[in-house]
Chain A
Amino acid sequence: MKDLYAWAAIGLIILASTTGNVLLSYSMKRVGDVGELWKRRGVLAVIGRVLATPTFALGLMAMGVAFYSLLFGLSWGNLSLVVPASASLTFVANAVAARIFLHERVGRRRWIAALLVACGVVLMAV
């Protein structure tokens, strides 16, 4: 039963952090290159425009949910299961989500990279 809870937490971490990353990436693409904006309008304009993007707050909330799911997952499962399982699967889930929702061009190069990094993260934690 504890295993089931741990995997439920892992699923929630992956879902929440992928949602958060997609929302934050979408918000920042709408804001545009912050380096350019900073040069033209100053740092306050950058902060103002980021905070005025509604999806940014949603993305932050999703990241918060992911963080608390990680804390709950750690109280139910082993550190050596929860952290590598959620971190590595998040890389793959993010690549899929970025392709579907952000229409990023995830070519062969990036698929291979996502898989290599996911395997690497698992091996680092063993």
Chain B
Amino acid sequence: MTFRKYLVLAGITVFSTVGDSLLARGMKDVGSISLHNLSGLLLAVLNPWVAAGILLLLAFFACYMSALSWADLTYVLPATSLAYVLVALIGHFRLQEEISPTRWLGIALIAAGVGFVAAGPSVTPSHQRQTSQNTSRDTVSQEVES
């Protein structure tokens, strides 16, 4: 794992968080869209907040696909969950929202989970992928030893 790869993982978290909040901010201006008036969905793109949100979500998707090309799905997914933590922290420090003890516990559990994965290997070597079904028990014990 190089520094650049950690940057891509950080991009997944940041782009999805900021993109979602920009979309939410823009949809407040646009108002609710009914199933009978789907053209409203197309016009929503003209709102600058929505357009910026969509751009950031595209950047998120590019980072996510890039990460999946060199890391395991079970390695990348926990990184995406850091977005929940980021949303809560932005709400706390920028918007002075109160965070309940249960939510702090949730933040701690997610952070611990991400730390657990990040400290381990990022990708299953392809030669082990072929044989992993027969040797899965051995690889688990190998990992515990290492």
Contact = CB atoms under 8 A, between A and B. Distances in A.
B110 A117 contact: yes
Interface residues on B, range: 35 or more
B132 interface: yes
Interface string B13-48: 000000000000000000000000000000000000
Contact of B117 (A98, A110, A120): A110
A104 B119 contact: no
Interface in A77-126: 91, 94-95, 98-99, 102-110, 112-117, 119-126
Interface of B: 4-5, 65-66, 68-70, 72-75, 77-78, 81, 84-85, 88, 102-103, 105-114, 116-117, 119-121, 124, 128-130, 132-133, 136, 139-140, 143-144
A99 to B, nearest CB: 8
A40 to B, nearest CB: 14
A117 B113 contact: yes
Interface string A1-43: 0000000000000000000011011001101111100000000
A55 to B, nearest CB: 12
Contact of B77 (A21, A28, A125): A21
Contact of A103 (B66, B106, B112, B132): B132
Chain A at the B interface: mostly helix, strand, loop or mixed? helix
B105 A94 contact: no
B48 to A, nearest CB: 23
Contacts of B113: 112-117, 120
Contact of B65 (A28, A102, A107, A113): A28
Contact of B70 (A33, A50, A107): A33
Given A116-B116, A120-B108, A121-B106, A107 B68 contact: no
